[in-house]
Amino acid sequence: MAMNGMRPVVEMQFDAFAYPAFEQIASHVAKMHNRTRGKLGMQMVIRIPYGGGVGGVEHHCDSSESYYAHTPGLKVFTPASVSDAYLMLREAIDSPDPVVFFEPKRLYWSTAQIDLDELREQYANGTAQKREGHAVVAREGTDATLISYGPSVPVCLSAAEEAAQDGMSVEVIDLGTIVPYDDETVATSVRKTGRAVVVAEAQGFASVASEIVARTQQRCFHSLAAPVLRVTGFDIPYPSPAFEHHHIPSVERILDTLDELQWED
C-alpha cells in the first residue's frame, strides 16, 4: 500500500506481537526509500502499544524501542500525554518516512480531559507544536535534569514534584521522538543544571537510555558536576504482574538516584 502511494496505519496490538514482523520492518520498510534511490517512499505508521504498569503478562509489556531506534531509516515517536498522542500521531501520518509509533499502554486508561476539536484546529492551522526532533521542557528546574520519554515522563514529573518539597529544583525533559533525537534541548538543560538522570522502562543494557547517557556525557562533560545516571527496567524478562512495580521506574527509585548525584559539591 505504501509503495503505491497510500499512507497505511498499522496497529500491532502489543509490543512483543510485533517481533514476527520485525524482519520486514528492518529489512524492507526501513530500507526501501534508500534502496530505490528515492523512487519509492514508505509513508506508513506502525503503531505499537508498549510498556508496563497495566498488570499485563509476558509478551504484553515489553519496551522494544531500542530495536527500532537502532534501525536506520525508521523514525521512532512516543507520546507522554493524551493530547500528544493525538497530535504526534497526526504528525507521524504526515511524515514522508516510515514511523514506528510507540503508544504507552497506560495512556489508554488515562482520565485526562482534552478538547479534540481544539486539537484538530491547532493541527490544521499549524499552531500545534511540532514534536519531530523537538524535545520539550515539561517542567523547569535548576538543580538536576530528568530526561525521559513516553510512559516514564509522568513518573518523572511526579518525582520532580516530590523533590521540590525537599528543596530540590528538578527540570524534566520530554523527548517526544527518540529518532530524530533532540541533542540541543537536552544539552541546554544539562549544561544549566550540571546533573542528569535518564529514566526509561526498558532494560538498561544496550538501550536508548544508554545512548542518551553517552550523548549527554560527550556534549556536556565540562558542565557536569556528577556522572549521568540511569533509572531503567532491570536486565531480565518482564516479570509477572505481582512484581512489575519493582521492575519499572518509580518515583522512589528516581528520588534515590537523584540523591546519588554528589550534592556535596
Distance separating alpha carbons of residues 258 and 43, to the nearest angstrom: 41
Q: Are 217 and 227 in contact (CB under 8 A)?
A: yes
Distance separating alpha carbons of residues 156 and 237, to the nearest angstrom: 24
Question: Catalytic pick from 33, 59, 60, 134?
Answer: 60
Nearest to 120 by CA among 143, 149, 154, 86: 86
70 part of the active site:
no
Distance separating alpha carbons of residues 242 and 169, to the nearest angstrom: 33
What is residue 75's three-state secondary structure?
Answer: strand
Reading the block at residue 43, the C-alpha cell is 509513508
Q: List active site positions.
A: 60
